[in-house]
Amino acid sequence: MPFKPIPAAIAIAIGLIIWFVIPVPTGVTPEAWHLLALFIATIVAIIGKVLPIGAIAIIAITVVALTGVTNETPQGAISDALSSFSSPLIWLIGVAVMISRGLIKTGLGSRIAYYFISVFGKKTLGIAYSLAAAELMVAPITPSNTARGGGIIHPIMNSIAHSFHSTPEEGTRLKIGRYLAMVNYHANPITSGMFITATAPNPLVVDLVNKATGSEIQLSWTTWAVAMFVPGMICLLLMPLVIYAIYPPEIKQTPDAKKFAKDNLAKLGHVSTHEKIMMGVFALMLLLWANIPAMILGDAFSIDATTTAFLGLTVLILTGVLTWEDVLKEKSAWDTIIWFGALIMMATYLNKLGLIGWFSSSIETGIGTLGVGWIGAVAILTLVYLYIHYFFASTTAHITAMFAAFYAVGLSLGAPPMLYALILAAAGNIMMTLTHYATGTAPVIFNSGYTTLGEWWKIGAIMSVFNLVVWISVGLLWWKLLGYY
């Protein structure tokens, strides 16, 4: 069968029960309740991996249009179902995924990683920091955290472990492989939280915050990067040390690693013209995303973040770094555009139809009875929001299902809008640390066999606490300095 029948049956059954069996609560319209049934069924189907997420999204769009839950007329229903495909945020992330193909195609991503190892690879800890630094370098233009951590960094980490004969097959993973694999993975959630364009769900957070605050809070690329850079950097600097203390490698000195990296750099040869163009596009996009021209020359030179992404892709096509065939073959980009559009559409109409407001009011009433104030409420909500990810295999599904409601509750209880947005945005990336199915990068690295399931979950739980404490404590000081609350 083209789909998994049991998860499909569960998803359909849950949707039908909500639609037909559970009474519509007081204060909720039938249309909102029926859309909730479709939404939850979609999320369950994504979690159960009934079909690829893009295929599930197409089905969700079709069902929303057919049922008319958002609009009585057939024309209005299909217009609503397709409404989110005009969102600049969707195209920002999709085009950025296309651009990131250039890092792999030109070899620039590998060159960056090998360069850091050639400089800092004398010790195992130095290799770990080199992998983290390479992650950080390519994160701003690699919105697929799976492509970054699993497709660019992991093969290099794996090659280094093999060069030291530290492999699961040889029973020698503890030499250096386990430690490097864990650093390889845990750098991924941190860098994902540092830039809007470092993982696909971040723009969804931007969109939900914008809608929840009536456009009062608009997280630009620069605002996000400045707010998250300091706490993110502290976490990234401390992370290899924490893992080193818990699961120390047997090999501490790695003089051969520098030679290994230099040999691979030699194989790559001189920096090619396409790599130079890729670096130029990378630098141009960062300057425009950071709004540097506008700061120097005035607002007339400000360029929208999505326009910047299109500009970068245009340059890469015109210079031949990427061909149109490359763009067409970048299935993850087109897939992202499809499922992202469907989920944003459903989340948007749940809000428009009043369901998010009703749900947040119900939670607000429950937490309000505890008498903990907005600070206590934010703490409770953030912890629940983060650790409920044990039940999710997709950060996108989690954020789509939970963010709007949790954010609305915090605001209604008095949390400063910008502060709470940043806290939940950070938690939405920190939760990737938890399990071997938490995000797409996790199964890639876990399946390489360097860690056991128990080791993965143990370090995941520890790093979730560590990252949350460091990110929020440092963030509170940094965000206060920036005047965000």
- With 90 as the cut, is the pLDDT of residue 431 above it? yes
Residue 69 has pLDDT above 80, yes or no: yes
Between 88-106 and 201-212, two packed helices, what is the crossing angle to 10 degrees? 160
pLDDT in tens, 86-117: 888 788 778 877 887 888 889 887 888 888 88
Tens-place pLDDT, residues 35-63:
999 989 998 898 788 998 889 999 999 99
Return the percentage of the chain with pLDDT > 70, whole number.
100
> Which pLDDT score, from 0 to 100, does residue 372 have?
82
Tell me the C-alpha distance between 38 and 19, whole Å.
8
311, amino acid identity: L
Query: Which residue type sits at 369?
Result: T
> What residue segments make up the domains of the chain, in order of their start?
1-81+341-352, 89-278+325-329
SS (HEC) of 146-172: HHHHHHHHHHHHHHHHHHCCCCCCCCC
**Is pLDDT of 476 > 90?**
yes
398: its two tokens: 């989690």
pLDDT digit string (tens) for 293-318?
887 888 888 888 789 889 999 999 99
Q: Is 85 helix (H, G, I), strand (E, B) or coil?
A: helix
Cα separation, 324 vs 430, whole angstroms: 35
Which structure tokens are listed for 287?
Answer: 């300057």
Residue 220 neighbours by CB under 8 Å, 6+ apart: 291, 305
Q: Is the pLDDT at 174 greater than 90, yes or no?
A: yes
What does the alpha-carbon distance between residue 292 and residue 277 come to, in Å, rounded to a whole number? 20
Nearest-CA neighbor of 424 among 409, 397, 406?
A: 406
> Between 155 and 420, whose confidence is greater?
420
Closest to 461 in 3D by CA, of 398, 387, 388: 387
Select the more confidently predicted residue: 403 or 400: 403
Contacts of residue 175, defined as CB under 8 A and 6 or more positions apart, other chains included, come to 161, 164, 165, 166, 249, 250, 251
Cα separation of 430 and 444, whole Å? 18
CB 65 within 8 A of CB 77: yes
pLDDT of residue 475: 96
| Closest among 258, 260, 257, 265 to 111, alpha carbons compared | 265
Lowest-confidence region among 23-32, 89-98, 214-223: 89-98
> What percent of the chain shows pLDDT beyond 90?
52
Lowest mean pLDDT among 145-149, 191-195, 406-410: 145-149
Q: In angstroms, rounded to a whole number, what is the distance separating the alpha carbons of residues 194 and 68? A: 39
Nearest to 363 by CA among 379, 382, 377: 377
Token output for 193: 């939280």
| Counts for the chain of helices (H) and strands (E), in that order | 24, 0
Q: Which helix (H) or strand (E) holds 6?
A: helix 5-16
Phi, psi of 25 (to 5 degrees): -65, 155
* For residues 74-89, average pLDDT: 91
Using 50, 70 and 90 to split pLDDT, how confident is the model at 453?
confident
Average pLDDT score, the chain: 90
pLDDT (average), residues 443-465: 91
pTM (2 decimals)? 0.75
